Amino acid sequence: MALNSNAVTVKLGSTLICGMNTVTFDPVLDQLDTTSFCSEGVREFLAGLSSATIALSGDYVPADAGQVILVNAWKNKTLLTTTNKPAFLVDTTNGFSGDAYVSGFSIGAAVDGKVTASFTLQLTGAITVVTA
């Protein structure tokens, strides 16, 4: 059964990141090419290192506690961990979590629109699959 995305939450510890209306969790597993002359014309691979990012975008709310934590973490090059560990929950009990750095953010505005923000979190270390 499909999930309704209006139940999604993104938290830093227990602090919600408000104003965001789009989130993407993007895990990657590097593939190491081990193809040789003995590979009989087909490519061969080994699993390499894994990593993941969480990308958020939505409305810029300068007073939102979650957005303040993200901007300050970027400014101070602070690892988000322990009390500020990022968690992306697709419902109330399932999702992904891990320590992260804010690798970048942007604030934008259009004359006929609203002020928007986007944040990219680079997870570091083990990624936890959160389940009920």
**DSSP 3-state percent helix, strand, coil across the chain (nearest 5):** 15, 50, 40
Mean pLDDT, the chain, rounded, equals 95
Looking at residue 50, its pLDDT comes to 96
Length of the chain: 132
Looking at residue 126, its pLDDT comes to 94
Looking at residue 118, its pLDDT comes to 98
Instruction: Reply yes or no on whether the pLDDT at 115 is more than 90.
Output: yes
Has this prediction a pTM greater than 0.75? yes
Q: Residue 99 and residue 105: Cα distance in Å, rounded? A: 17
The pLDDT tens digits for 67-103 are 999 999 999 999 999 899 999 999 988 999 999 999 9
Count structural domains, the chain.
Answer: 1
The pLDDT tens digits for 33-52 are 999 999 999 999 999 999 99
What confidence category does residue 23 fall into, taking pLDDT thresholds of 50, 70 and 90? Answer: very high
Give the domain CATH number at 30.
2.30.110.20
Domain holding 102, by residue range, is 5-130
Q: What percent of the chain has pLDDT over 70?
A: 99
Instruction: Reply yes or no on whether the pLDDT at 132 is more than 80.
Output: no
